């Protein structure tokens, strides 16, 4: 059963909404623009805020849907589904394992696993993004505190998932971290 949850949620996670929406919106292949990433932040760089918001919602939604689809099979299945959808988003088979950085999908899984933990992580992202205007810094901070929120308002299995998700997302942001340290990271709305 856990394998089915992992495989099903992985496949759901591989749906590249940013790529699909930008192509449908007549903007071409998002992988040839900006950072080359398929996520909402790069879609925002196209100047289409509506498509960026929809990408954010759908990428988060697929993470939440994966968790909710398998939650009736138990907490372990829900956690495996969370991991599967996040992995699918970051490493989609259809795109030669080059997907998004996983932030929206991870936040969606956190909301579905424990709405309070997910909400607090989202609030952290918004607050840091508003204060410093760096999407990457907001994402890194939100994911760094998510395991702490999980320990406080949930149980250790969720904290383990949140820690693994944070580690994976931090690895996906190594170039952003370098640019932040060098003062070269692009601010939100600067493109």
pLDDT digit string, tens, across residues 60-83: 999 999 999 999 999 999 999 999
Q: At what angle do helices 2-13 and 49-70 cross, to 10 degrees?
A: 170
Query: 82 near 9, Cβ under 8 Å?
Result: yes
Give residue-wise pLDDT tens across range 86-133: 999 999 999 999 999 999 999 999 999 999 999 999 999 999 999 999
- Of the chain, the percentage scoring pLDDT greater than 70 comes to 99
Q: Domain map of the chain by residue range? A: 2-182
Q: In the predicted model, what is the mean pLDDT of residues 149-165?
A: 95
Report the percent of the chain where pLDDT is more than 90: 89
* Tens-place pLDDT, residues 158-176: 999 999 999 999 999 999 9
- Measured between alpha carbons, how far is 152 from 5 in angstroms, rounded to an integer? 27
Instruction: Return the pLDDT at 162.
Output: 98
pLDDT classification of 46: cutoffs 50, 70, 90: confident
Q: Is the pLDDT of residue 191 over 60?
A: no
Is-contact 80 70, C-beta < 8 A?
yes
């Amino acid at each position: 059963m856990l394998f089915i949850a992992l495989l099903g949620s992985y496949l759901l996670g591989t749906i590249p909404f940013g790529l699909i929406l930008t192509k449908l919106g007549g903007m071409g292949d998002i992988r040839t623009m900006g950072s080359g990433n398929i996520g909402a932040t790069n879609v925002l760089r196209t100047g289409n805020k509506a498509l960026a918001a929809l990408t954010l919602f759908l990428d988060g939604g697929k993470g939440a849907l994966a968790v909710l689809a398998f939650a009736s099979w138990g907490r372990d299945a829900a956690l495996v589904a969370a991991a599967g959808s996040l992995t699918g988003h970051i490493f989609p088979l259809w795109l030669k394992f080059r997907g998004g950085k996983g932030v929206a999908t991870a936040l969606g899984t956190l909301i579905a696993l424990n709405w309070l933990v997910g909400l607090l992580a989202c609030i952290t992202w918004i607050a840091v993004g508003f204060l410093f205007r760096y999407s990457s810094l907001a994402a890194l901070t939100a994911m760094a505190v998510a395991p702490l929120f999980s320990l406080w308002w949930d149980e250790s299995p969720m904290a383990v998932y949140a820690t693994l998700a944070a580690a994976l997302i931090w690895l996906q942001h190594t170039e952003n971290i370098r640019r932040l340290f060098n003062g070269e990271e692009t601010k939100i709305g600067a493109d």
